[in-house]
Amino acid sequence: MATETQVKPDAKFFTLDSPLLAQGRLDNVVARTDLLKLTVKVYASGGENALHVHTAEDHSFIVLQGEATFHIGTEDTVKVLTKYEGVMLPRGVAYWFVSSAPENLVMLRAGASETWPKDGRITPDGKPIAGNSLENKTVEMIPIPGKFFTA
């Protein structure tokens, strides 16, 4: 309960509506506090294609449309997730994933952190790796005009 000296926070209402893509990926942040961030992630193809670790953030992915093939810890540990399945990734878990169905992959990503570094990703051997980089196999995002994911 807030005291007289504390500011009472406001509720944040949001939708998951996000553009569908002909190419690339989209991060649509739909809600955020100082500790929690909710993002709708849309992938035409590809994914987060370089094995990486988030050092300061626990996060989870829930598939809303399409199919995601996750590689957890190593290239050989594979789990395919379909609609309404998810994965919880505590900070320090190495992973990468790819959209593995013909349709756009749409996932809800929830991330929690006490501090939010600029990118917060490293490779398993400790080198920084930006999420939107050639090393992470990022390609230009091209929306499909008039096409949206709606929940």
Asked if residue 24 belongs to a domain, the reply is: yes
Residue 90 pLDDT class (50, 70, 90 cuts):
very high
Structure tokens at 95: 């992973």
Asked if residue 71 belongs to a domain, the reply is: yes
**What does 84-102 look like in DSSP terms, one character per residue?**
T-EEEE-TT--EEEEE-SS
Place of tokens 């500790």: 35
Cα(19)–Cα(98) distance, integer angstroms: 19
Asked if residue 147 belongs to a domain, the reply is: no
Structurally, how many domains does the chain consist of?
1
Range of the domain at 111: 20-130
Closest CA to 107 of 87, 136, 90: 87
Instruction: Give the range among 11-20, 82-91, 100-109, 126-135 with minimum mean pLDDT.
Output: 126-135
**CATH code, domain with 117:** 2.60.120.10
Asked if residue 84 belongs to a domain, the reply is: yes
| pLDDT tens track for 39-78 | 999 999 877 778 899 999 999 999 999 999 999 998 889 9
Asked if residue 34 belongs to a domain, the reply is: yes
Percentage of the chain with pLDDT > 90? 68
Asked if residue 15 belongs to a domain, the reply is: no
Asked if residue 85 belongs to a domain, the reply is: yes
